Amino acid sequence: MIIQFGDKVIELIEGDITECDGEAIVNAANNHFWMGGGVAGAIKRAGGKSIEDEAMRSGPKPVGEAVITGGGSLKAKYVIHAAVMGQDLETDSSIILAATMSSLRLAESRRIKSVAFPALGTGVGGFPLSEAAEIMIGAAASFLETSSALRRVTFVLFGDEAYNAFRNKISGLKK
Alpha-carbon gap, residue 11 to 139, rounded angstroms: 14
pLDDT at 174: 56
pLDDT at 175: 46
C-alpha atoms less than 13 angstroms from C-alpha of 72 in its C-beta half-sphere: 20
Q: No. of H helices and E strands in the chain?
A: 5, 7
Tens digits of residue pLDDT in 106-115: 999 999 999 9
Q: Which pTM value belongs to this model?
A: 0.94
Closest by Cα among 23, 20, 16, 30 to 82: 30
> Which segments of the chain does DSSP mark as H helices, in order?
38-47, 49-57, 93-109, 129-146, 160-170
What ranges do the domains of the chain cover? 2-173
Is residue 63 pLDDT above 80, yes or no?
yes
CATH of 2-173, one of 1.20.1440.230, 3.90.650.10, 3.40.50.620, 3.40.220.10: 3.40.220.10
Average pLDDT over every residue of 48-64? 96
SS3 of residue 156 by DSSP:
strand
Average pLDDT over every residue of 14-32? 94
Alpha-carbon gap, residue 109 to 169, rounded angstroms: 27
pLDDT band at 29 (very low <50, low <70, confident <90, very high): very high
pLDDT at 33: 95
pLDDT band at 52 (very low <50, low <70, confident <90, very high): very high
Alpha-carbon gap, residue 66 to 84, rounded angstroms: 9
Element (H, E) at 129: helix 129-146
Q: Is there a contact between 81 and 117 (Cβ–Cβ < 8 Å)?
A: no
